[in-house]
Structure 1
């Protein structure tokens, strides 16, 4: 995941940083820090990324990777 995907996923759901923090049980400061990183979040703890991707997956967000990283909402 890259920081732009994190910001884009929040935007798709119209979630604030506080909303994401609440759903992941992470601090708002952690979300802010991750969103400021330029590029990949590879150095982030696995448990932190798992909490974030889990919250987004539960809300219907899918992350795409490869040559064009992005996000999309699953069809209902």
Structure 2
């Protein structure tokens, strides 16, 4: 359910965060929709709509959500078993890669 904003998808290797991964990461971190939205300056309804599959947001906004979750310790896995887990070190994930920066996620 990735949107697009400047001709490309965001995330590691061009793979966007899925709504299920967002819900899972929030659950692991014990964050509400409002907690995640507040970290990136969005409305809780935006997170609710994205995670419910009711919205196709620009990839920069999804990347902002993903970056906030990663900074708190969420690690996203891809491939056949896409998912999310917590970093045992408790945070400081990879953040946004330089080749994935756009005007929307340049924060």
Match of 1:25 in 2: 41
In the alignment, the residues of structure 1 paired with residue 71 and residue 30 of structure 2 have an alpha-carbon distance, to the nearest angstrom, of 15
Matches of 1:31 and 1:8, distance apart in 2:
13
Bigger-Rg structure (1/2): 2
Deviation of 1:61 after TM superposition, in Å, equals: 0.5
Does the alignment pair 1:7 with 2:20? no
**RMSD of Structure 2 on Structure 1 (CA):** 1.6
In 2, distance between residues paired with 1:50 and 1:7? Answer: 14
Q: Secondary structure at the match of 1:67?
A: helix
* Distance (whole Å) between structure 2 residues aligned to residue 62 and residue 26 of structure 1: 22
Paired residues, number? 73
Tell me which residue corresponds to 2:61: 48
Q: Which runs of 5+ in 2 are unaligned?
A: 1-16, 90-107
Q: Give the TM-score, by structure 2 length.
A: 0.63
What displacement does 1:71 show?
0.3
Long gaps (5+) in structure 1: none
Structure 1 stretches of 4+ moved >6 Å:
none
Name whichever structure is richer in helix by fraction.
Answer: 1
Instruction: Find the counterpart in structure 2 of residue 71 from structure 1.
Output: 84
Task: State the SS of the aligned residue for 1:75.
Answer: coil
* Counterparts of 2:52 and 2:88, CA distance in 1: 30
What TM-score does the superposition give when structure 1 sets the normalisation length? 0.86
Q: Secondary structure at the match of 2:80?
A: coil
